[in-house]
Amino acid sequence: MTIDFENLRCSFIDGKWLAISETEGESFVKINPAQTNDQIGPVQTSMTHVDTAVECGRRAAALWQKTPLEKRLGFLKILADLISKHSELLAQSITREIGKPMWESRSEIKNVLNKFLITQNEALKWVENFSVAGPNVAIKATCQFKPHGVMVVLGPFNFPLHLVMGHLIPALACGNCVILKPSDQAPLTSMLLAELFSQAGFPAGIFGMVQGGAAIGEKLCRHPDIDGILFTGSYAVGRKIKEWTLDQPGKILALEMGGKNASVIWHDASVPEATAAVLQSATITCGQRCTATSHLIVHEKVFDQVVSELEKMASQLNIGDPTQEATFMGPLISEASRQRFFQANAKAVSLGAHAMSIQNLSNIPQTGFFVTPAVLRFDALPKRELFLSGYFDQEIFAPALALYPVTAVKDAVDFINQSQFGLALSIFSKGPEIFETFLESCRVGVCNWNRPTTGASSALPFGGQKASGNHFPTALFAAKYCTYPVATLREEDPSTVEKLNGFRCLESK
C-alpha cells in the first residue's frame, strides 16, 4: 500500500478524505517515543467535521442495518484480507508511534485478524434471534436483536488497532455505523486503517474517522445523534464520558477502563516460572496495559527466593530500540508519562518501599522516553490508611511492580478487594484449592491460575468490576453491547385473541 501522508492529515468521512483548511481546524504533532527527533504530522483536526461525520453516519445507518448479515460479513472479510496483506506496514506504524517492539506489534496484527474470525464464528451467536413458547399456541413469541445506529469508538494508544477493532468489528457486523476517534498518541495507524476501509469498498458513511484530542472526544460523546460510546482507556476519562452523557441515559456506554492488578505467588508455586510470568506481566508494552501486574503478593516462605529471581531476571531484560528483533521492552509513550512514573516511584519510597537496583540506567537509549522497571519491595501489606494515600490504588501505566510478603490468604484477599479497580488477578500455586479460594473471594473480571494477568483470550468475555468497567465486557461478548433486544408477541389472526373481562388482551403487565 502506498500512502501519501501529506494527503491524510485530515478526516475520513463519507468514504473519502476531507481536507481541513488552516483557518478551519487545528493540528498536532505526534512524536516517536523511541526517536524523539522523528515527528509524525502535523495531524489536522476539525470540530466541524464531527457534525459532518455524524450526519453521514446517520444517513447511512438505515441502509447498513438492512444490509444482510452475510453481505456485511463479506465487507469485513475484504477488510481482514487487506489488513493481512499490509500487516507489516501496520506493525511498523504501531512500533513507530507507540514504541512497541516489532514482535509485539506483529502479534497485535495477528490478534486483530483473529477477532474477525471469533466475531463471525462465536460472538454473533450471543445475539442470534430466537423464539420461545407463547402464551398460547396461536401466539408466536420471538426476540430479535437490532443495532443501535451510530456508534463512536474512542481508541486507546497502547493497542491502536487491536482494541479499536475489538469494538469496530462487532459493531459493524451487527449493523451499526461507526465513527472512530483514535488516541491523539496514535494517529498514524488509524490513517492506515481508514485507507484500508476505503479500499475495502464499504458503502459511504458506514465508517468515519476524525482525529483529535479530548475536545473532539467530548463533542462526539455529547452529540445527540450518537447512539453509543465504546471506550477503552483510563478510569478518569471513563468518568468524564459518564458526565458528558449524564442527560442522555438512553445512550449505551461500554467502558473498559483501568486496572491495578495483583499476582499472588504461594509457597507451593514453581517460583522461577511464576516469577518470570509476573515480570512479563509487569513489563510487557513497558507496563502500558490495563491488565499489567502492579502488585505482587508473595507467601513469606518463598519471598526471599522471589526477590532473588526478580533481581536476576529483571537485570537481563533487553530494553531499547523497538525496531530491533531482540528488544523486549521499548519506551513509555511520552515524557509526561515518564515523569509520572518517576513521581510514583518516589512516592512509594516515601511510603516505606525499598527500591531494588536491577538495571543500569546508562545501558538504555537516551533518544526516547525509555525507563528501567521499578521493582519496589515493601516489608508488609500497607495499612488501610496508607492504602488510601494514592500510590497503592493509582494506575501508573508503566513498568512498576510492588512486592509484599504475606502468610494468610485472607490478608491477600482483603488487600486485593479494597482496591477501587477489579480487572485482572493471577494466582500461582500447584494446588487448585488456593486458586479456587481467590476466584470465589475476589471481585475481578479476569482470574488466572498459573498464567500472567496479561494476554486475555478474545474467545472469552473481557471486562472488569468496580472502576475497571461498567458491566459491558468486550471480546466474546462485544456483540451484546452493539445490539439491543426487541421482544415480540405475534398473533396472525386477531379474531383469536383471548377476551378477559370484556377486554381483548394477551397478558396484563
The residue from 290, 442, 447, 482 that is catalytic is 290
Which CATH code is given to the segment(s) 261-460? Answer: 3.40.309.10
Query: Which one of the listed residues 256, 286, 447, 482 is annotated catalytic?
Result: 256
Quote the CA–CA distance of 212 and 183 in Å, as a whole number.
7
d(CA 377, CA 355): 6
Active site residue 256: yes
* 268-308 pLDDT tens trace: 999 999 999 999 999 999 999 999 999 999 999 999 999 99
How many other CB atoms sit within 10 Å of the CB of residue 234?
Answer: 16
What is the residue extent of each domain of the chain? 5-257+469-487, 261-460
CA 482 to chain centre: 16
Give pLDDT tens digits along the chain (509 positions): 655 555 556 799 999 998 776 657 788 999 999 999 999 888 889 999 999 999 999 999 999 999 999 999 999 999 999 999 999 999 999 999 999 999 999 999 999 999 999 999 999 999 999 999 888 888 999 999 999 999 999 999 999 999 999 999 999 999 999 999 999 999 999 999 999 999 999 999 999 999 999 999 999 999 999 999 999 999 999 999 999 999 999 999 999 999 999 999 999 999 999 999 999 999 999 999 999 999 999 999 999 999 999 999 999 999 999 999 999 999 999 999 999 999 999 999 999 999 987 777 777 888 999 999 999 999 999 998 888 778 999 999 999 999 999 999 999 999 999 999 999 999 999 989 999 999 999 999 999 999 999 999 999 999 999 999 999 999 999 999 999 999 999 987 766 555 555 555 555 55
Give the phi and the psi of residue 241 in degrees, each rounded to 5. -60, -40
Instruction: Say if 5-257+469-487 and 261-460 have the same CATH topology.
Output: no
The pLDDT tens digits of the residues spanning 110-130 come to 999 999 999 999 999 999 999
Beta strand spans in 386-466 (E)? 400-406, 421-422, 424-428, 446-449, 461-462, 465-466
CATH code of domain 5-257+469-487: 3.40.605.10
Amino acid present at 141: A
442 is catalytic: no
pTM over 0.85: yes
pLDDT for 50-103, tens place per residue?
A: 999 999 999 999 999 999 999 999 999 999 999 999 999 999 999 999 999 999
User: pLDDT value at position 406?
Assistant: 98
